[in-house]
Amino acid sequence: MPQYAEVIIDLVSNAVDRPFHYYVPLEMQGQIRPGMRVEVPLGNRRCQGYVLRLPRESAVDTLKDITAIVDSEPLLTPEQLALGRWLSMRFYCRLIDAVHAMIPASFRRGRRPGDIKVVEPTEQAAEVNLERAPAQKKTMEILRQKGPLPGPELARLGSNNQVIRSLEKKGLVRTVTVRPDRLEPGGGDGEEEQAPLTRPHLLREEQTACYDRVKRALAGVRPEKMLLHGITASGKTEIYLQSIAYCLEQGRTAMILVPEISLTPQMIEHFEGRFPGRVAVLHSRLSVAEKNRQWQMILNGRAKVVLGARSAVFAPLERVGLIIIDEEHETTYKQEEAPRYHARDVAWWRARYNRAVLLLGSATPSLESYYEALECGACLLNMKERVTPIQLPPVQVVDMREELKAGHRFIFSRLLLEELNGVMERDEQALLFINRRGFAGFVLCRECGHVVRCSSCDVSMTLHLDRRIMCCHYCARETAVPETCPSCRGTKIRYFSAGTQRVEDEVKKLYPAARLIRMDRDTTAGRHAHSLYYRQFREREANILIGTQMIAKGFDFPDVTLVGVVAADTTLNLPDFRAPERTFQLLTQVAGRTARGPRGGKVIVQTYHPRHHSITTAAEHDYLSFFKAELENRRQLAYPPFSDLLRFLFSGPDEEAVFEAAVWMTGRLEPAAGKAEILGPAPASLYRIKEQYRVHTILKGKALPRLAPGIKKVIREYHGRKGSEQVRLAVDFNPQVVL
C-alpha cells in the first residue's frame, strides 16, 4: 500500500507556502510521524520540511520519494501542528512563519535528542550464578552499582557488546528505551543557585473571592476566559501563584506571560521560590545554551510552569490547565513581524484546545478584554483595595492654555517649576516623562488646544509642510492648513513638538548643577545601558531622570516624590484610534512611579486638553469612567471591540510602485471584503521610514476572520503578480499600532 506524507517546505518564501505531497518509501514506513522533519526533493534541490499529515491518498500521481528522516522524535506536537494551521489563517502568515515562531531557531538547528537505549538487569539476574563467566559477572556488577546504562557506556567501564549479547540470550539483561532525562535525576548540573523558598500569603477577602472563582474554573471541564481587574499592589501576583499551585495539584501544567521588561531577576526568583526546580523561564536575553536547556526541561516534562515573554505562549507544555497573561493590555503582546499574532488570541486558542483556563490580569485592561468580560457576566474579577499601605498619589492637571494666557510660554508650567525647585532643595528625586516618539505631526491651537481631526475617522490630521495640507492617515481625506483656529479663531497655530533632548537642554539651563539621566532609544542602545541607569538612579547618583515609555515601568524608588508629564498631548494626538486608551494607560502607569516611600509624592500632568476624558479619569484613578466614555467613542465609529480591523501595509523604495500596488490590491479586496468597510489606500502616518514609502488599506468589519479564505486567495494572487517583489506587503489582523 502506498503511503503519503504532506510536507511543508522549510523555506521562507511565498512560492512554497502550501503543502507538498511525497511518497513514503517502504523502508521509512512506520517511522515517520507528523511533526518530524524530513528531507525531500524540490525541483532539482534537496530541502528540509515538516511532515504535517500522513494522508491515505493523494490527488497527485507523480510523486517523489522522501529522501531522509531528520528527527527521531517529532519536533512539533499535534497541538502545535493544529495551532500552526490556525495561525496562518487568522494572522495571514505563511505556515512556515508559524512553525518558526513556535520553535526557537537554535532548537531547529540541532536534532531533537531522541530516546536512548539502555541495558538493565532482569528479575532473573538476582538468582543466577556467574562464577564461570567472569566477564559477564563483572558487567552485572557494574549494572547493579550504577543502574541501567547505555551499551557504549558499559563498554567504557570494561564490558563489551559480545558480553552484553550473551547476557541478553540468557535473559539476564534486556535493552529498553528511556527518555534522556531519566538518566540524570534532577536533570540539572547542580551549579545553579536555588532561589529562596517563598510561602503563600494568607489571602485577603477580595483576593479570596477571586482565587475561589479561578479555582472553580480550574475544577471544571470547560475552557474559560477571565479578566482580573486589580489596581497596582492589590496582590494579583499572589493570585497567580496560588492558582498555579492549585493547577499543579490537579496534575496539570501552567503558563504565565509577562511583558519582557518586567521579567526581572526578582520576578523570576518569585516563581522559582514558590515552585523550585519546576519553572522554565523563557525570554530574549537567554544565551542559546540556556534557552535550549529551558526548552529541554519543558519537553522532558520536568518543567510544570513556564514563565516567559510573548513567544513563551508557544511553549510545548502538555496538559496545560492554566494560562495567565499579566498586564494583558501591553502592546508588546502583539508581534510586529510575521506571524503578527497576539499572545492573547493564541493563549485562548490553546486554552480551548486543552480545556484550560485563561486568566488575564491588568490594572488598566484593554477595552477589548474588559468589554468581553463584562458581556460574559461571570468572567470579571475585581480587586479595588491595596495590600500594601502605599496610597495612590494625587494627580494635578495643568492647563497649558492658561499658562500661555498668563504670558508663560515655557515648556514647564509654573506649578511644575515650583515642584521641581522643591525636589532640588530637599534633595529628592523626580521623573520627567515625554512620549516615545515625540510625534510632531499634528497642528494645535495654543490658545484653545484645538486639534484638527478627521470627521469620519476621529484621528488627528497630520501636517504636510511641503504640500501645505493636512491629511487623515486612515482614509486619505485632505484639508487646507487653517490660518486661524477653526474653533476659537485664535492665531497662535503651532506645529507641536517636544522631545527628550529638548527637555534635557531646558533642565540643564535651569539647574546647571543638577545631575541628570536621560533615557530614550538613543541613550540606551547599549546592552547594559538600561540596568546601568537604573542602578545609578537607585544609588541616587542623579536627581532627575528624563525619559520615554521606558521609565513608565518597573522604576520603583522611594525617593521619587515628583512625576512630571511634560506633554500629555503627544500621546493623546497620535493619529491612532487607540490614542486615548494609550494615554490613560500611560498616565496611570507613570503615576504609579511615585508615592512609594514615606515622603509620599505627586504627579503633574501638563496638557492643552485638561477636560479630555483620558486625562480627567486618569487623574482620578477611575478606570470604569474611562472605559465607559471611550467605549461610546468606539461604538460610534465602529472600532474594536465593535469590529475587527485588517490592515494591508505596502512599503517600498519606489513611491509610485507602492501606491500602484496598494490601489491594485484594494480593488481586488472589494469582492472579498463582504460587508466590511474598506478605508484607503492612504499614506500611513509614518509615511517614510528608512527610505521606504508606506501606504495602507484598512478593512473594518464584524467577524473578519470569516472572510479569511477569500482574502488569502487575493493575497496569493498579489504575490503571484509581476513586480510584487519590490513592494512589501504586510497583512496585520487587529493591529495594535496603526501608524
**What is the binding site for ligand ADP (CB under 6 A)?**
201-204, 207, 230, 232-238, 387-388
CB of 236 to ligand ADP, least distance (A): 3
Question: Residues 443, 492: contact at Cβ < 8 Å?
Answer: no
Nearer to Zn ion, 256 or 463 (CB): 463
CB of 326 to ligand ADP, least distance (A): 7
Nearer to Zn ion, 149 or 459 (CB): 459
- Minimal CA–CA distance to 82: which of 48, 39, 36, 34? 34
Nearer to Zn ion, 472 or 678 (CB): 472
How many Å apart are CA 397 and CA 618, to the nearest integer? 10
How many Å apart are CA 504 and CA 516, to the nearest integer? 8
Which of Zn ion, ligand ADP, none does residue 472 bind (CB under 5 to 8 Å by kind)?
Answer: Zn ion
Nearer to ligand ADP, 499 or 592 (CB): 592
CB of 580 to ligand ADP, least distance (A): 24
Q: Which three cell numbers stand for residue 67?
A: 529522501
Nearer to ligand ADP, 273 or 482 (CB): 273
Nearer to Zn ion, 306 or 472 (CB): 472
CB of 274 to ligand ADP, least distance (A): 11
CB of 366 to ligand ADP, least distance (A): 17
Nearer to Zn ion, 84 or 575 (CB): 575
- Minimal CA–CA distance to 196: which of 271, 121, 294? 271
Nearer to Zn ion, 475 or 572 (CB): 475
Nearer to ligand ADP, 10 or 330 (CB): 330
Nearer to Zn ion, 480 or 525 (CB): 480
Binds Zn ion (CB under 5 A): choice among 279, 322, 379, 457:
457
Q: Is 454 in the site for Zn ion (CB under 5 A)?
A: yes
Nearer to ligand ADP, 363 or 572 (CB): 363
Contact region for Zn ion (CB under 5 A) — 174-182, 221-229, 400-408, 455-463? 455-463
Which of Zn ion, ligand ADP, none does residue 207 bind (CB under 5 to 8 Å by kind)?
Answer: ligand ADP
What are residue 701's DSSP bridge partners?
644
**C-alpha dist (Å) from residue 449 to 399, 453, 577, 672:** 9, 12, 19, 42
- DSSP string across 534-591: HHHHHTTS-SEEEESGGGSSS---TTEEEEEES-THHHHTSSSTTHHHHHHHHHHHHH
DSSP 342: B
- Minimal CA–CA distance to 549: which of 536, 565, 534? 565
Which of ligand ADP, Zn ion, none does residue 475 bind (CB under 5 to 8 Å by kind)?
Answer: Zn ion
Widest CA span in the chain: 112
Which of Zn ion, ligand ADP, none does residue 299 bind (CB under 5 to 8 Å by kind)?
Answer: none
Contact region for Zn ion (CB under 5 A) — 237-245, 316-324, 470-478, 496-504? 470-478
Q: Is 475 in the site for Zn ion (CB under 5 A)?
A: yes
- Minimal CA–CA distance to 489: which of 527, 450, 520? 450
Q: Specify the 3-state DSSP secondary structure of 401.
A: helix
Which of ligand ADP, Zn ion, none does residue 98 bind (CB under 5 to 8 Å by kind)?
Answer: none
Contact region for Zn ion (CB under 5 A) — 120-128, 203-211, 313-321, 465-473? 465-473
CB of 313 to Zn ion, least distance (A): 34
CB of 679 to Zn ion, least distance (A): 7
How many Å apart are CA 52 and CA 395, to the nearest integer? 56
- Minimal CA–CA distance to 200: which of 239, 256, 254, 233? 239
CB of 623 to ligand ADP, least distance (A): 14
- Using CA atoms in the order 706, 707, 712, 714, what is the torsion angle rounded to 10 degrees? 170
Q: Is 217 in the site for Zn ion (CB under 5 A)?
A: no
Nearer to ligand ADP, 232 or 250 (CB): 232
Q: Is the dihedral of CA 617, 618, 623, 627 positive or negative?
A: positive
- For residue 79, count other CB atoms closer than 10 A to its CB: 19
Number of H-type helices and E-type strands within the chain: 22, 29
Which of Zn ion, ligand ADP, none does residue 621 bind (CB under 5 to 8 Å by kind)?
Answer: none
Question: Residues 202, 174: contact at Cβ < 8 Å?
Answer: no
- Minimal CA–CA distance to 610: which of 413, 437, 422? 413
Binds Zn ion (CB under 5 A): choice among 125, 241, 307, 472:
472
- Minimal CA–CA distance to 330: which of 258, 225, 241, 282? 258
How many Å apart are CA 359 and CA 380, to the nearest integer? 10
**C-alpha dist (Å) from residue 212 to 204, 209, 218, 305, 316:** 12, 5, 10, 21, 28
Question: Residues 499, 568: contact at Cβ < 8 Å?
Answer: no
Question: Cell numbers 536512548 label which residue?
Answer: 116
How many Å apart are CA 480 and CA 574, to the nearest integer? 19
Nearer to Zn ion, 138 or 453 (CB): 453
Size of the site for Zn ion (CB under 5 A): 7
- How far, in whole angstroms, is CA 117 from its chain's centroid? 40
- Minimal CA–CA distance to 102: which of 353, 263, 282? 282
What are residue 581's DSSP bridge partners?
none
Which of ligand ADP, Zn ion, none does residue 474 bind (CB under 5 to 8 Å by kind)?
Answer: Zn ion
How many Å apart are CA 179 and CA 301, to the nearest integer? 10
Contact region for Zn ion (CB under 5 A) — 64-72, 86-94, 298-306, 473-481? 473-481
CB of 270 to ligand ADP, least distance (A): 8
Which of ligand ADP, Zn ion, none does residue 203 bind (CB under 5 to 8 Å by kind)?
Answer: ligand ADP
Question: Cell numbers 485592561 label which residue?
Answer: 365
CB of 181 to ligand ADP, least distance (A): 33
Nearer to Zn ion, 431 or 471 (CB): 471
Which of Zn ion, ligand ADP, none does residue 387 bind (CB under 5 to 8 Å by kind)?
Answer: ligand ADP
Which of Zn ion, ligand ADP, none does residue 457 bind (CB under 5 to 8 Å by kind)?
Answer: Zn ion
How many Å apart are CA 192 and CA 38, to the nearest integer? 37
CB of 90 to ligand ADP, least distance (A): 30
Which of Zn ion, ligand ADP, none does residue 237 bind (CB under 5 to 8 Å by kind)?
Answer: ligand ADP
* Window 240 to 269, contacts with Zn ion (CB under 5 A): none
CB of 475 to Zn ion, least distance (A): 3
Backbone angles phi, psi at 61, to 5 degrees: -115, 0
Nearer to ligand ADP, 121 or 361 (CB): 361
Q: Is 140 in the site for Zn ion (CB under 5 A)?
A: no
Binds Zn ion (CB under 5 A): choice among 474, 623, 639, 664:
474
CB of 214 to ligand ADP, least distance (A): 14
DSSP 125: G
How many Å apart are CA 334 and CA 315, to the nearest integer? 17
Contact region for Zn ion (CB under 5 A) — 61-69, 451-459, 619-627, 706-714? 451-459
Question: Cell numbers 520627567 label which residue?
Answer: 432
Nearer to ligand ADP, 384 or 494 (CB): 384
Which of ligand ADP, Zn ion, none does residue 601 bind (CB under 5 to 8 Å by kind)?
Answer: none
CB of 208 to ligand ADP, least distance (A): 9
How many Å apart are CA 551 and CA 723, to the nearest integer? 44
CB of 361 to ligand ADP, least distance (A): 7
CB of 455 to Zn ion, least distance (A): 7
Question: Cell numbers 495551532 label which residue?
Answer: 83
Site residues (vs Zn ion, CB under 5 A) = 454, 456-457, 472, 474-475, 477
